[in-house]
Amino acid sequence: MNKNTVLQLSLSALSEEIKTKEISPVEVVRELLDRIQEVNPVVNAFITVLEEQALKEARQAEGEIMAGNCRGRLHGVPVGLKDLIYTKGIRTTMGSKIFQDFIPDRDAVVVQKLRKAGAILIGKCNTQEFAYGPTGDASYFGPARNPYNPAKMTGGSSSGSGAAVASGLCFGALGTDTGGSIRIPASATGIVGMKPTFGRVSKTGIYPLGKTLDHVGPMTRSIRDNALLLGVLAGFDHEDPFSHNLGNEDFTLCIGESISGKVIGIPTSFYFDRVDEEVKEKVKKAIHVLEGLGAVIRDIEIPVLSKVSYTQLKTLQSEAYALHEEHVLSRPQDYQPPVLERLKQSAEARGYEYVKAQEIRQEAREAFNNVFEQVDVVAAPTVAILPPDIGQTEITVGGQAEQVRSALLRLTEPACVTGLPSLSVPCGFSSDGLPVGLQLIGKPFSEARLYQVGAAFEQEASLSTLKWDVQPLMQRS
């Protein structure tokens, strides 16, 4: 295979080629490092590129595979990590000046799992500072840029992970999601992003933002890739007080099965209110595709959703400020201005507001539980708007002015508040070539069902999820 053909392979396809010894992990890493050198200056996806370590790991993987000791589907596959996931002996910056030289003395549990599976760590991906924000353009190391238009946001906070996967700089990446931070950049960069059920994946060794809202999940080019990666990440961790002990699961098992008879719930309000017309059009077309595949489409009502933003806001403000108070008071000048602004606002959250938010949170969980007695999956837009310009703070949606931050977060917050699994799948492009995401939400621990529905759509739509002409695009602009 030539260079471009190798790098455009899905994670799943590359895995097969490596397993059958058709492709060398060493050659893959070398070609990937060449591409990173060419493209990363455009998209700013990586804060740290692990050149020497990645080559060392690739040589080790190659030796093991040649000796017949294949560890599984990730053995020899290069992946990226959001740069608030701890890596022993490798700096982990949180996208901040405060931690620009911080070197952890341990690997996060998810990194331990990746290493055990034989994955190659290619680099640490850019992130909104401390993951506090959905735009992806407030990092001490500069904004990550959208591969489809470098003047546009990637979305955040897993900004670099989205840009890296979409640009072909790695075959998958890990992100974190507290209000939408996996799914927003997945939607904005045209890739697949899964926020698993709360507690499905360990958070031990990951710098927190909101301890009862944080999730960890995979970002990939395809549904199958995503399911394979989640299968490695998921599992019980006694160090994580929120971790669920469910045993191992193969999340690929239902991929390829018919979705005929599956009931897809379409909310009659909230998820389609104040949504960009092109976004709404693409998502509705995606729903028609699912209906054409035999799914039953049913209108549903979830009235509590109008209160979810308050719940997300007050919960996150309280939990984030509790973590950041010391640094906000001692080193305010070292924060990115938009992040410092949010933290100062967070300091004003009151105890009774947090308690009220938790009451609404339980109401939201019960409302979704009732919905899932009627439907298998809820379908909606991932993000209400197309990717805004880097630095843009306000936008008009449906004739109403709104903060960009609010418009990006509004439709992803409910799944974080309730802890439900939520998958963003690419479902088309706007008239000016910007990606749009379809969001699929399921009942707790139904990730395999979400992958089944998402894969059925993906196969029928056959949408490309790899932006290969990043450099020419930058030159044209």
Name beta bridge partners: 215.
Answer: 177
Closest-CA residue to 224 (of 6, 377, 9, 380):
9
CA gap 154, 145 in Å, rounded: 6
Q: In whole angstroms, give the CA distance from residue 443 to residue 127.
A: 29
Using CA atoms, how far residue 343 sits from 103, 121, 138, 308, in Å, is: 25, 32, 14, 20
User: Contact, 125 vs 91, CB < 8 A?
Assistant: no
d(CA 34, CA 261): 47
Residue 57 token pair: 């790991």
Neighbours of 192 (CB within 10 A): 31
Q: Is 86 helix (H, G, I), strand (E, B) or coil?
A: coil
**Contact in structure between 397 and 384 (CB atoms under 8 Å):** yes
**Enzyme catalytic residues:** 82, 157, 181
Q: CB within 8 A of 257, min separation 6: which ones?
A: 452
Q: Are 173 and 165 in contact (CB under 8 A)?
A: yes
Structure tokens at 401: 């002015």
Q: 303: Cβ–Cβ under 8 A, 6 or more apart, which residues?
A: 269, 367
Cβ-Cβ contacts under 8 Å for 141 (sequence gap 6 or more): 44, 47, 93, 95, 126
